[in-house]
Structure 1
């Protein structure tokens, strides 16, 4: 007994191909796709069509660009204040930590930057699992706790008082705790979320969105030093920190309101994925970042010996020479030069990052 068969050809001249057969449906990648991205068949003309995945970024929209604005506010507050260390660190050296060497004081801002960047390794999987809202809120509260705590420190130290809050050793520990550890940890949460959430809304325009967000770092780095140079001589340390806290709280509040996630968290995301080390690009980047950390530490010690601007000039020349002497010689059969370049160039740029704010402050 013959059975009716659904339309299976595109035209009378084409060969018989069953478009409903699973073998004819294209699959992309080794992983199964969700139903929203599976190919379908138009029942009227038998043409295979592919639906657009609902998980593809919408390339902006009102909420997408509001998220960019919120991330801009976050980087203005956090990265901008970190870039103001060129004004804050000399103040510490003159009033709070006058009995400490410059390289010892630099460990405070160094701890802040280190935690802000290093903790992103763990914050990234948390973002994938829980989304942006709670991480951003927690980071904002932690960051503000450290900044408000700075406003309760005394105006200067007094070596004659013995043990107490005005003792230089005590102030050093409090500054390391508040600025270095607490604010550094809060910065890691805030900035990792502010940058990662862009992938929810942009793919082709992600570079533009990230560029707008990073402009906030420059804006904050220009505005906060101007504020501090006005308030520190007139109002002192405590009220200057409270004014900064008010500005930063407003920016972080706007960021929390405007930033929205679009993709639900993946609860199966692991904390650490060692498979990334199989990617050569990741390994090269890791080598460069490690060398950058070494360069930041070395730059402080070198600048105390030969001067800050001399160190900046030499490390800039070192980076330029490394580019022409090593990078241009990299070829397929000499890949070891790529690792050498990553290490040397990372060291040179690390010195520039470490010494730059101090030169600006001087």
Structure 2
């Protein structure tokens, strides 16, 4: 009994109230100097999901990439073809209107497709992809079918500028939010493959519209495009799945969205998107009309948009793979800055076919990183359960720039008679892209510092 009491008296009770372990002769270990177990590693930041939560491949994951490719082809790919419609309407149904007025059709198309993201992204986080894809398919195909019978400016605004792009928004955000839920380490290349569908759509749709409109009526041209989109979206509906947990519809409070804007890194990413969007789509819309201004043939002027988008197809796959190793923020910043510099240094002095082709190729390659790696950068600083909401809010803010950028460019050009006005339009676009790229890089610097060796 005395021995027992002595043993008890030799135990040390730490401040935490837990007895320290006793050695073989009854003397306690020095817990401070000889820890019995390693301290727990610090928890991961809340905005990062651990890689083991992602399958990184498998049938469902790669089928989602395939479905995402078709969803991008039919949504953003159609939007990337805005240049051919700007040129077509200026010489056909709406030739009595100014370039700026016609540009509102393209601007509304971009605004509603991107602006609806804040709602569609939230719905994706709540209920997943299935019903969103069905809704988007019905609305986009219906809008394009209705566009095929339009004859008046207001009708084009409603059908092609509002109804079809709202449907495209459901398709676009569902595809862009579903793919990252299956990948972490391979997210860059997966997003690059799926987003390359938008560039391929932007490559083929201008050629399709141009050639069909020369052989059949405008109505049947639009209906043919609508039928193609319907077929591809059926595949997207059957293949896109989500690897995230969806909690069902809940009451949405404004703070559920505004809380994300309290994080400085997310805010910088959003503002950089806003500035880049303001100038990014101006070359897509006005490259064809600018080429015609310099007396380049109609066919070659139309093909410039296709060349631009074809270069973007290669870019999104290649840079996506590079970004998984060199850092998504790193590669995306370089791509945006390069697109801005090229617009100022190459597009402004271009007057002949050769420099226009060179600009279309290099600009398409450089700008191609933005759409594929932008959402990947957003996912990198987000919880997987918030990807839909944060990507949607990101593009929704950018939609206001997309809404005004093209009409402002048209207003700068005016009646097209003053050469200096065309160059001012190009300088406006290039300066905004360059500023957006600089802010994107600054966000990366705040996160990991100035060292170019750091992968982020």
- Shorter-normalised TM-score: what interval? 0.5 to 0.7
Q: 1:96 aligns to what SS in structure 2?
A: coil
Contact 2:51 2:185 in 1 (8 A): no
Q: Secondary structure at the match of 1:184?
A: helix
Report which stretch shifted further, 269-278 or 70-79: 269-278
1:244 aligns with 2:228: no
Aligned equivalents of 1:65 and 1:297: distance in 2?
39
Shift, 1:151, TM fit: 2.1
Distance in 2 (CA, whole Å) between partners of 1:276 and 1:183 is 29
Aligned equivalent of 2:102: 105
Q: Match of 1:280?
A: 264
Q: Which structure 2 segments of 5+ residues have no match?
A: 1-20, 32-38, 279-400, 447-456
Most deviating of 254-263 and 270-279: 270-279
Deviation at 1:319, TM superposition (A): 5.2
**TM-superposition CA deviations, 1:228-257 (whole Å, max 9, x none):** 111101102011011111111111111111
Is 1:256 aligned to 2:237, yes or no? yes
Counterpart Cα distance in 2 of 1:97 and 1:190: 29
Query: Which residue of 1 is the match for residue 187 of structure 2?
Result: 206
The secondary structure found in structure 2 opposite 1:209 is: helix
Aligned pair partner of 1:150 in 147, 153, 157? 147
Superposed counterparts of 1:29-44, under 5 Å: none
| Higher relative contact order structure (alpha carbons within 8 Å, sequence separation ≥ 6) | 2
Q: Structure 1 136/300 Cα, relative in aligned 2: closer, same or farther at 3 Å?
A: same
Q: Which residue of 2 aligns with 1:219?
A: 200
CA distance, structure 2, for counterparts of residue 79 and residue 107 of structure 1: 17
Distance 1:67 1:328, change over 3 A: closer
The whole-number CA distance in structure 1 between the counterparts of 2:107 and 2:134 is 24
3-state SS of the aligned residue for 2:85?
Answer: helix
Secondary structure of the structure 2 residue equivalent to 1:152: coil
1:175 matches 2:285: no
Partners of 1:80 and 1:216 within 8 A in 2: yes
Number of the residue aligned with 1:318: 431
- Can you list the C-alpha shifts for 1:18-75, whole angstroms capped at 9, x where unaligned? xxxxxx98894799xxxxx9xxxxxxxxxxxxxx998x11112111011001100111
Q: Distance in 1 between matches of 2:141 and 2:433?
A: 40
Distance 1:189 1:295, change over 3 A: same
Task: Please give the alpha-carbon distance, in whole angstroms, between the structure 1 residues aligned to 2:210 and 2:81.
Answer: 11
Counterpart contact for 1:80–1:217, Cα < 8 Å: yes
TM-score (ref. length: structure 1): 0.68
1:89 aligned partner: 86
Q: Which residue of 2 aligns with 1:114?
A: 111
Would you say 1:303 and 2:416 are equivalent positions?
no
Alpha carbons 2:101, 2:407 under 8 Å: kept: no
Deviation at 1:194, TM superposition (A): 0.3
Contact 1:133/1:261, CA 8 A, preserved across alignment: no
Structure 1 distance, partners of 2:405, 2:153, is 24
Matched with 1:48 is none
Rounded to whole Å, the distance in 1 between the matches of 2:55 and 2:441 is: 41
Distance 1:322 1:134, change over 3 A: closer
Alpha-carbon shift at residue 16 of structure 1 (Å) = 12
Give the aligned partner of residue 175 of structure 2: 194
Q: Greater shift after overlay, 194-203 or 310-319?
A: 310-319
1:88, distance to aligned residue in structure 2 (A): 1.6
Pick closer, same or farther for the CA change 1:100–1:277 going to 2, 3 Å. same
Structure 1 or 2: larger helix share?
2
Kindly indicate whether the alpha-carbon contact (under 8 Å) linking 1:125 and 1:269 is maintained by their aligned counterparts in 2: no
> Are 1:128 and 1:269, in contact at CA under 8 Å, matched by a contact in 2?
no
Aligned match of 2:129:
132
Pairwise CA distance, 1:282: 2.5
Deviation at 1:312, TM superposition (A): 5.4
Secondary structure at the aligned position of 1:197 is classed as helix
The size of the alignment, in residue pairs, is: 282
Separation of aligned partners in 1, 2:188 and 2:442? 27
Could you say what the CA RMSD is over the residues aligned between the two structures, in angstroms?
Answer: 3.7
- Aligned residue for 2:92, secondary structure, equals helix
* Residue in 1 that maps onto 2:358: none
1:317-337 per-residue CA deviation (whole Å, 9 max, x = no partner) reads 53587589x779979xx9xxx
**Equivalent of 1:229 in 184, 187, 210:** 210
**1:27/1:217 Cα in 2 relative to 1: closer, same or farther (>3 Å)?**
same
CA 1:319–1:174 in 2, change beyond 3 Å: closer, same or farther?
Answer: closer
- The two structures have a TM-score, normalised by structure 2, of 0.55
Secondary structure at the residue paired with 2:75?
helix
Which range is displaced more, 268-277 or 177-186?
268-277
In structure 2, C-alpha distance between the alignment counterparts of 1:244 and 1:328, rounded to whole Å:
36
Contact 1:68–1:209, Cα closer than 8 Å, also in 2: yes
